[in-house]
Amino acid sequence: MAAPYPAPRISQYSEDIWAVGGNSGCRGAIHVGIAVDRTKPGKAFVTYTPRPFVGDGPAWRRKPVCNLQVTARMDIVRGEGWSRNITAGPRGGRAAHLTLTPGSGPHMLEFFTEGVQWGTRNFVLIP
């Protein structure tokens, strides 16, 4: 029985999204993991793992929480988007999961947040 394994991919920029949120300029990185499973063809299993975030000012000191929305987009031509809410703080945050169904073959998967950010673009081979 096969288990999910890291997808063969080429990442443009990074495997992390560098993001800035609205709470006192909170900022940090969200790692994007992509796994595939030969027993589930055409699917990509995405995990967003927030790294530690930092912020400035009294609002961050009172409540060191950064709320962001991460959007995934497959193959620019399709233009579809799926979002997940991410909450991060000084110790990182809880991982969020998303299952995409781009179909088998090579695909481009992009992940980004709104506003000031540095997203990631991945060229992935889905079994």
| Residue 56 confidence (pLDDT) | 93
User: Can you tell me the distance from the alpha carbon of 72 to that of 114, in angstroms, rounded to the nearest whole number?
Assistant: 11
Q: Which parts of the chain register pLDDT below 70?
A: 1, 77-80, 116
Please state which architecture CATH assigns to domain 5-126: Sandwich (2.60)
| Residue 116 confidence (pLDDT) | 64
User: Can you tell me the distance from the alpha carbon of 117 to that of 115, in angstroms, rounded to the nearest whole number?
Assistant: 6
Question: Residue 8 to residues 20, 41, 71, 125: CA-CA distances in angstroms?
Answer: 29, 14, 21, 6
Pairing of strands 16-20, 44-50: unpaired
| Residue 81 confidence (pLDDT) | 73
Q: CA-CA-CA-CA torsion for 1, 41, 70, 29, nearest 10 degrees? A: 50
**In the chain, domain spans:** 5-126
Model pTM score = 0.91
The CA angle 46-70-53, to the nearest 5 degrees, is 100
| Residue 22 confidence (pLDDT) | 86
